[in-house]
Amino acid sequence: MTRIDRTFAALKAEGRKAFVAYIMAGDPDMETSLQIMRGLPAAGVDVIELGLPFTDPMADGPTIQAAGQRALEGHQTLAKTLDMVRAFRQGDAGTPIVLMGYYNPIYSRGVDRFLAEAKEAGIDGLIVVDLPPEEDAELCLPAQAAGLNFIRLATPTTDAQRLPKVLQNTSGFVYYVSVTGITGAAQAQAGAVGPEIARIKASTDLPVVVGFGIATPESAQALAGVADGCVVGSAIVKLVGEGRPVPEVLARVAELAAGAHRG
């Protein structure tokens, strides 16, 4: 079992929902983002989703695009992001870390080299949004063989014909994108999401977490209530982009986490 598997099993045994928090590695600089990352578990975060900055983040809205740009302007790289994970692991051996990004930086580094380094650094899972199931041999299957979860996204447009393909080699959890479009673009509604989560759960034993469009403790509670947990990204990244002090960012994360855990 990976850290992700163990975390979701423990949460299920406790009757609790998962709170997953997304931050961009290197935003606004590596030192600050590492400080935020180190504070997430104490703020109630069960799984950390760490963004890998990329020049063409097609699935991301303006808030996360700007975060990636700030990180790139600060010379954040894949190697530095793995160094961040290593530094985090010096003080935290238990919190799962999912690296979310795009395939180009991984391909450029070399898949075998990347997987070996990611596993050694302490990465537990990958979300690579521009690799469809048809390309599983590129990264998904090698990642699974290396002991990393490969987490797939399902969306409102993932129909009954497509869903089995999406689920085929997914592990760790399924990430349900609650709104059609880019991150941070619309507010998710639990009433619309609930039946979709039930549809996915009828086809898999994996936990299903919902993300995109969750910006308040109340929406975190509502969305976590119809799934196994929720993901908040843009609402956190926005505070970083506004230059809020780290304690203020973490205090807001704690409020969001408390909402999700009430779900």
pLDDT in tens, 82-137: 999 999 999 999 999 999 999 999 999 999 999 999 999 999 999 999 999 999 99
CA distances from 19 to 95, 100, 258 (A): 12, 16, 9
For strand 47-51 and strand 153-154, is the pairing parallel, antiparallel, or unpaired?
unpaired
Amino acid at 188: A
CA distances from 239 to 54, 117, 151, 250, 255 (A): 20, 31, 26, 10, 14
Could you list the beta-strand ranges (E) of the chain. Answer: 18-24, 47-51, 97-101, 125-128, 149-150, 153-154, 174-177, 208-211, 229-232
Question: How far is it between the farthest Cα atoms of the chain?
Answer: 47
- Residue 185 pLDDT: 52
Q: Is 100 helix (H, G, I), strand (E, B) or coil?
A: strand
Q: The whole model's pTM is what?
A: 0.96
- Annotated catalytic residues are 49, 60
Rg of the chain on CA atoms, in Å? 17
**Residue 52's CB: how many other CB atoms inside 10 A?**
24
Place of tokens 């063409």: 56
Q: Mean pLDDT, the chain, as a whole number? A: 94
Domain boundaries of the chain, sorted by first residue: 3-262
Q: Which CATH number fits domain 3-262: 1.10.540.10, 3.20.20.70, 3.60.110.10, 3.40.1670.10?
A: 3.20.20.70
Report pLDDT digits (tens) over 24-35. Answer: 999 999 999 999
In terms of residues, how long is the chain?
A: 263
Concatenating the DSSP letter of every residue in 26-53 gives: TSS-HHHHHHHHHHTGGGT-SEEEEE--
- Residue 32 pLDDT: 98
pLDDT band at 228 (very low <50, low <70, confident <90, very high): very high
CB within 8 Å of 262: residues ≥ 6 apart? 221, 224
Exposed/middle/buried for residue 245 (C-beta within 10 Å: 0-12, 13-18, 19+): exposed
How many whole angstroms separate alpha carbon 8 and alpha carbon 206?
9
- Residue 58 pLDDT: 80
pLDDT band at 48 (very low <50, low <70, confident <90, very high): very high
Exposed/middle/buried for residue 174 (C-beta within 10 Å: 0-12, 13-18, 19+): buried
Q: Assess whether pLDDT exceeds 80 at residue 149.
A: yes
Query: Is the separation of the CB atoms in 230 and 253 below 8 Å?
Result: no
Q: Which residue has the higher pLDDT, 181 or 115?
A: 115
Structure tokens at 213: 């469009």
pLDDT band at 74 (very low <50, low <70, confident <90, very high): very high
Q: Assess whether pLDDT exceeds 80 at residue 39.
A: yes
How many whole angstroms separate alpha carbon 76 and alpha carbon 262?
36
